[in-house]
Amino acid sequence: MYSYDELTAPERALWDAFPEGRRVDLRTGTPEEDRISDGGQWGRERTVRAAVIAALLLGAHNGQPGVVARLRLTGARISGRLDLAGAELTHALWLETCWFDEPVNLLGASTRTLVFTGSRIPGVEADSARVEGNFSLRRAVVEGGAPTPFNRAPTALALTDARVSGALVLNGARLLAPGGWALSGGGLAMEGGVFCRKGFVAQGEVRLLGAQLPGTLAMQGARLEGGGPRGVALVLDNARASSLKLSEGFTANGTVRLRGAQVTDDVTFAGAVLNGPPGDEGDSPALVATHLQAVDLDLTLARPPAGALDLRGAQVAYLHENEHSWPGRVRLDGLVYGSVMTADADGERHEAVGGRGSVARRLAWIRSSPGYNPQPYEQVAAWYRKAGHDDDARRVLLAKQRHRRRTLPPASRAWGHLLDVTVGYGYRPWLAGVWLLALTLLGTLSFRTATPKPVKPGEGAPFQPLVYTLDLLVPIGGLGQRTAWYWTDDALQGLAYLLIALGWVLTTAVIAGVTRTLQRN
């Protein structure tokens, strides 16, 4: 405990102002002398020991009745380590444009509002802290220090398992931990929003695994540099949020991971840039949103992603796209959506259904996923059916069968080709009529050139080339012509046998294609 006589002049000013909640401003008023980047050179006249600040917050100088005591300090150099680990603080702490010589330790502390606006801090350790109010690092520069008990990597801002009843304000802040974690907030529970806008920069991973963010995560215009060998910029695995605003110039130089995240409203990347891991050539994903659940997923990006998109198992009501949404590789297996909205050059959005161009675009989209997976085809077809475009749905399902055929053994591929040519796997049954008409015309014209011999002279109906041809082609039932006549001409007799065989093949294909395939779909 310090006595009043042991305090320096700026410390006495702070000591006297604390009970009344007055601000102590140690700035000179000269911009060149007040630059925070030069704070390490500020002298004794602007230096306050961290131990004095801690002593005030822990009750060394109680407030006066009728006045709210709080610690407000501007333009100071904080010497020593501000160690409030496990403390229960009942006073708000406001430190603006201050230079910290050493990291701030709030591990397990219970505090009121915390404000470090515009300050430079070599690391903030606030794992398991409880903040009753806002936690603001607006325009602050926080640099990663040594690994902490909860974080194995150098971490700038540590908020693992912390609880904040207000907002976490990081607008304009710079969290610098190259190769480490810019923000470690696994299990972070917020009651307000998390705001990382207006020039926010993170060098190192922003980790919010399992975070509870009911007030939204707003990162419009933020720049995430990622870091480390994993090349990950943002991790929101299994997080819960009302909305994720990763838009309006949001830039991620590393993978954005949303595995298993549950979002009650929208996830928007409108106008965002997803560059993927630096130096990667497109093999690593720019976005991983496997098993994401959201109402809207807006992928109207500013330019095509540099890496792949992994949307396997995601469930969204509305999927928004534009010309930049889809890279050369997209993983779609298990993606479920109610509607796809396309944004045109003017920003107008409309449901992207109808027409061969739409189908061709959807098929190219599906084929960008490696390997064969039936579900993306089924999902697109269901969407077309729901919109009333049954013909487009059949085109998609036919493409699915053709894609599947390439994965089959040779015999099955041959049978698949036959089903495709004859009835389009059941999705083009009119092809059977075309084949029947063509074979009927061939037989009728050929059999008109000669007269066959009757099996039983003087009995049966006269020879009719058209009826005879139909009798050969239709293997079920009989019209009385095939069994009543035979040919002495080997060529015509061979044609008759060929038509019988083609009739069986055509009938089998129709049954297999129409009955089996259409019933399945």
Residue 254 lies in a domain: no
Q: How far apart are CA 103 and CA 155, in angstroms?
A: 11
DSSP line for 120-183: EES-EE-TT-EESS-EE-TT-EEE--S--SS-SS-EEEE-TT-EESS-EE-TT-EEEEEEEEEE
Higher pLDDT among residues 462 and 48, named by residue: 48
513 occurs within a structural domain: yes
* Domain count across the chain: 1
pLDDT in tens, 478-488: 676 776 777 77
pLDDT band at 145 (very low <50, low <70, confident <90, very high): low
Q: What is the pLDDT of residues 428-481, one digit of tens each?
A: 766 667 777 787 788 778 878 877 877 777 676 787 778 777 777 777 766 767
Phi, psi (degrees; rounded to nearest 5) at 310: -115, 105
pLDDT band at residue 165 using 50, 70 and 90 as cut-offs:
very high
**Domain of 420?**
412-520
In a domain, 458, yes or no: yes
Q: Is the pLDDT of residue 294 over 70?
A: yes
- pLDDT band for position 54 (50/70/90)? very high
pLDDT digits (tens, 9 = 90+) for 309-318: 999 999 999 9
Q: What does the pLDDT look like over 326-366, one tens digit per residue?
A: 988 899 999 999 888 888 766 677 676 665 567 888 888 88
Beta strand pairing call for 135-136 and 168-169: parallel
Q: Which of 34-48, 88-102, 467-481, 490-504 has the lowest mean pLDDT?
A: 467-481
Kind of pairing, strands 336-343 and 349-351?
antiparallel
Q: Does the residue 470 lie in any domain?
A: yes
pLDDT of residue 205: 93
Neighbours of 26 (CB within 10 A): 21
Q: How many CB atoms lie within 10 A of CB 340?
A: 19
Render pLDDT for 7-19 as a digit per residue (tens, 0 to 9). 999 999 999 999 9
CA distance linking residue 189 with residue 167, whole number of Å: 11
Phi, psi of 454 (to 5 degrees): -75, 145
Q: Whole-prediction pTM value?
A: 0.81
The answer to whether the CB of 504 falls within 8 A of the CB of 510 is no
> Where does the pLDDT of residue 404 fall: very low under 50, low under 70, confident under 90, or very high at 90 and above?
confident
Domain-located, residue 368: no
Task: For residue 136, tell me if it sits in a domain.
Answer: no
Q: Is residue 142 part of a domain?
A: no
CA dihedral 267, 271, 277, 278 (to 10 degrees): -160
Count of Cβ atoms closer than 10 Å to residue 481 Cβ: 22
Q: How confident is the model at residue 295 (pLDDT cuts 50, 70, 90)?
A: very high
In whole angstroms, how far apart are CA 140 and each of 117, 121, 173, 406, 420?
6, 8, 5, 57, 65
452 within domain boundaries: yes
Looking at residue 58, the DSSP 8-state letter turns out to be: T
pLDDT greater than 80 at residue 1: no
What is the widest separation between alpha-carbon atoms in the chain? 140
Reading the block at residue 122, the tokens are 């070599």
